[in-house]
Amino acid sequence: MGFLDWMKGRGSARGSPDPENESMPARHETRKGNAICIRSSSEWISDGVGVYEWRHHIGNSVEGYHGGLEVSRHGGEGSWSWSNARPSLQAAENAALRMGERWNLEMGPEMERIANIQQGYSESRNRREGTAKERGRSWER
């Protein structure tokens, strides 16, 4: 069985229904109120400064396929957003990737601000550590 068959919910590679997707109730809805069932999810991607993580999802509803984006701050509960229905899996995947790109562009200034704060903290800590060593005091606590 091919990947597209699995994504369309035609069972697992062994020819039986996919228990992971069958037992998972729909937790998401389209704007019209139709249930979206998640069919695949990417691995978590980190922002590089350790504040945000996100991952892409592909789901389907009676309306079609949907690209999704889940964003989590500090590993907590994530916020979800879904695209409008798309006619194909590839179109939904492209929508999910564009959602991630847009989120990164919007959050760019915030990520830069956080990185600058972390850099300043690191430089300050290094100066304090150097001063303690010069005075013969242990920095380790």
**CA 126 to centroid of chain Cα atoms:** 33
Residue 16 placed within a domain: no
Residue 15 placed within a domain: no
pLDDT of residue 138: 62
Residue 21 placed within a domain: no
Residue 8 placed within a domain: no
Instruction: Tell me the two tokens of residue 9.
Output: 């919910």
pLDDT of residue 85: 95
Residue 70 placed within a domain: yes
Task: Give CA–CA dist 133/125, Å, rounded.
Answer: 12
Residue 71 placed within a domain: yes
Q: Could you report the average pLDDT of every consecutive run of 10 residues in the chain (141 residues)?
A: 46 38 61 93 85 92 96 83 94 94 83 78 77 68 51
pLDDT of residue 23: 38
Strand partners, 57: 41, 68
Residue 97 domain boundaries: 28-134
- Contacts made by residues 104-107, CB under 8 angstroms, sequence distance 24+: 107/47, 107/52
pLDDT of residue 95: 95
Query: What is the number of domains present in the chain?
Result: 1
pLDDT of residue 18: 41
